[in-house]
């Protein structure tokens, strides 16, 4: 009887490992189609009962592995640019720019997930696939090194065409929902989109720059 129990337990553990590998492989395949893309976004903060609050809008550009441009246009302007070496955050209203080094910590940000390979995903995250409606695919990622991560839980929803939603939950339980629309997959993106030079008179803050 004990042998049968151990066999079932071992089989269960192996099955869980296979399922995790399959989820990581399937997610990597979906993300492989998003190595270079642009999309409009709407971002919400989710309150109690998943009510949507604090809407912001804008457009994003992503290019593997570490270039990103995130332009928020409503309700106020903000620009985030990852140029491959540094991450810039610019607030025109405050005339302030912050520069952070794209060091190892960047590996645990939501933006880095979009350009990650299967090996990188498996190294950094516990990945599971969650049942979704119709032909949609829903994945959940939890960082293996939570103290280095900017999120506690990340969910990515793919419809039949492309990535459509990203849900981010931090260590305090605060949740943000990013909904993507009008995705495009250009053969190339103007390199100037991934550069930033603080305008004259901007207050520059250096944060963890190597």
pTM of the model: 0.78
Element (H, E) at 101: strand 96-101
Pairing verdict, β 67-74 and 78-83: antiparallel
Q: What is the mean pLDDT of residues 136-145?
A: 88
Greater confidence, 104 or 176?
Answer: 176
pLDDT digits (tens, 9 = 90+) for 84-101: 888 899 999 999 999 988
| DSSP three-state, residue 170 | coil
Q: What percent of the chain has pLDDT over 70?
A: 80
From residue 143, how far is each of 3, 155, 164, 210 by CA, in Å?
Answer: 35, 12, 22, 24
Q: Residue 37 — pLDDT band, cuts 50, 70, 90?
A: very high
| Structure confidence by residue, pLDDT tens digits, 148-207 | 667 888 999 999 889 999 998 987 888 889 999 999 999 999 999 999 999 999 999 988
Domains, the chain, ranges and CATH? 2-207 (2.50.20.10)
């Amino acid at each position: 009887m004990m042998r049968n129990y151990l066999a079932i337990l071992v089989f269960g553990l192996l099955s869980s490992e296979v399922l995790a590998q399959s989820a990581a492989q399937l997610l990597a395949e979906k993300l492989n189609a998003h190595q270079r893309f642009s999309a409009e976004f709407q971002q919400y903060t989710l309150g109690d009962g998943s009510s949507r609050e604090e809407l912001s809008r804008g457009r994003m550009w992503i290019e593997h592995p570490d270039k990103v441009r995130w332009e928020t246009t409503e309700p106020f302007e903000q620009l985030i640019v990852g140029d491959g070496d540094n991450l810039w955050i610019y607030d025109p209203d405050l005339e302030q720019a912050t520069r952070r080094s794209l060091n190892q910590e960047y590996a645990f940000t939501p933006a880095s997930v979009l350009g990650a390979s299967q090996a990188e995903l498996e190294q950094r995250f516990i990945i599971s696939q969650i049942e979704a409606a119709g032909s949609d695919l829903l994945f959940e990622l939890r960082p293996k090194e939570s103290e280095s991560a900017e999120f506690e839980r990340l969910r990515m929803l793919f419809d039949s065409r492309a990535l459509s939603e990203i849900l981010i939950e931090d260590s305090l339980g605060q949740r943000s929902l990013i909904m993507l629309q009008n995705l495009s997959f250009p053969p190339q993106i103007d390199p100037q989109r991934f550069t930033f030079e603080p305008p004259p008179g901007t207050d520059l803050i250096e944060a963890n720059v190597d």
